[in-house]
Amino acid sequence: MKTLKIIGLSLIGMISLSTYAQELDANLQLRPRYEYRNGFKSLMVNGEDATSFVSQRSRLNLNFKQEKLKLKLTLQNIRTWGDVPTTATVDKNGIALFEAWAQYDFSSNWSARLGRQVISYDNQRIFGEIDWLQQGQSHDAALFSFHPKNHQLDLGFALNANAENLVAPKTPYTTNYKSLQYAWYHTQFSKINASVLLLNTAYEFEKSLGNFEVDYKQTFGSYLAFKDKKWDSNLGLYGQTGKSADKNVSAWYAGAFAGYAFSDGFKVGVGYEFLSGKDQNDSSLAIKSFSPIFGTNHAFNGFMDYFYVGNHQNSVGLQDAYLKLNYMSHKWQFSLMPHVFNAPNTVLDAANKKMDSYLGTEIDFTATYTIQKDIVATAGYSQMFASETLERLKNVTNAANTNNWAWVMVSINPKIFSLK
């Protein structure tokens, strides 16, 4: 601890010898998580065995502030216990840069931020950190923000390439989006928060041999949230248009939730989501399936990640009706969330006959215990009761009867030091 304080003091001394007010704080996060997977993300096939492992996130966060200047640096290592031999000289994944940005406050209302940063808005349905993933999600971007009282307008820009090229590459850039521009406006009046998002994303593709083009897809919509002592509700409406891989895009999304607190410890909520899709017998080339793009999709449509977490893209869409029960007592918190899934568009069987729209029911249970202020233990159990229609969508012809998932995670977040 003394060594870390000496390092921190040295950093401040090297940064400036002036009389500017300066702050430097550092904190760690160690987050090991055990998982038992028996039908996680896709249905198990009879004859296959479940698997289990422990993954871990290790992060170091450094925050610096000097007058109008703010900087953040977050380093992380993501590992699976055992993926590196006990006598290894080099770590398999090494140290990665999760955040590295600088922000300058021109005034109390205007600021600009440049660098690797988290972009997260509203309920994280379109833009989110995806904190459940051990690696998280961050962007290389420029952000300009105007934020007077009760209002905020953010303008974001990004331009991606695979290297410092001298000439145009001979292969398309497919690792990420090619460019991004967005505007997010938020206002608050009384107990209502309202937001509007306009997002343009560009993706490069090879239209013909050696001919690379960029298509632009637009996502736009609004998010409303109301919260008081008893009620907690929200409504989101989004549409998508433009082009993707030379195909026209026409898709939409609607989601609503209403929760009520019967007491300080017991809350009940009901929600519904609709994500548009495309009939399997639709011969048009248009993309009619909504994509949450950069959303924290693990937090929606069931924790077993059957939908929109690296899967179910350009498919038949989804209807998700769910119930949320929360109970808190002292250091404990319990949550129970049953989901009923249906396909809003036609699913065909092997004989091209229309199948039932019911996909299945998932039940998610989680329990959280706060050991102390900076140590939290969480555990969860989920089970999917799948229909034949879901088996068809997942291309599983011999599905096992039981598909479940269990996990235990400990998050340790101590502050190492804080200097002023």
Q: Determine contact, residues 231/259, Cβ cutoff 8 Å.
A: yes
Considering the domain 2-419, what is its CATH architecture?
A: Beta Barrel (2.40)
pTM across the whole model:
0.91
Q: What is the pLDDT of residue 399?
A: 85
Which residues, at least 6 apart from 226, have a Cβ–Cβ distance to it below 8 Å? 191, 192, 193, 232, 233, 234
Q: Determine contact, residues 405/40, Cβ cutoff 8 Å.
A: yes
Q: What is the pLDDT of residue 3?
A: 46
Q: Determine contact, residues 379/405, Cβ cutoff 8 Å.
A: no
Q: What is each CA distance from 2 to 7, 115, 137, in whole angstroms? A: 9, 31, 33
Q: What is each CA distance from 366 to 28, 318, 324, 333, 380, in whole angstroms? A: 25, 24, 11, 8, 4
Region of 80 please: left (phi>0), alpha (psi -120 to 50) or beta. beta
Residue type, 160: N
Which residues, at least 6 apart from 382, have a Cβ–Cβ distance to it below 8 Å? 302, 303, 304, 362, 363, 364, 365, 404, 405, 406
Q: Determine contact, residues 272/320, Cβ cutoff 8 Å.
A: yes
Residue with structure tokens 């290790």? 58
One pLDDT digit (tens) per residue for the chain, 420 residues: 454 454 455 555 545 444 568 999 999 999 999 999 999 999 999 999 999 999 999 999 999 999 999 999 999 999 999 999 999 888 888 999 999 999 999 999 999 999 999 999 999 999 999 999 999 999 999 999 999 999 999 999 999 999 999 998 888 898 899 999 999 999 998 899 999 999 999 999 988 888 899 999 999 999 999 999 999 999 999 999 999 999 999 999 999 999 999 999 999 999 999 999 999 999 999 999 999 999 999 999 999 999 999 999 999 999 999 999 999 999 999 999 999 999 999 999 999 999 999 999 999 999 999 999 999 999 999 999 999 999 999 999 888 889 999 999 999 999 999 998
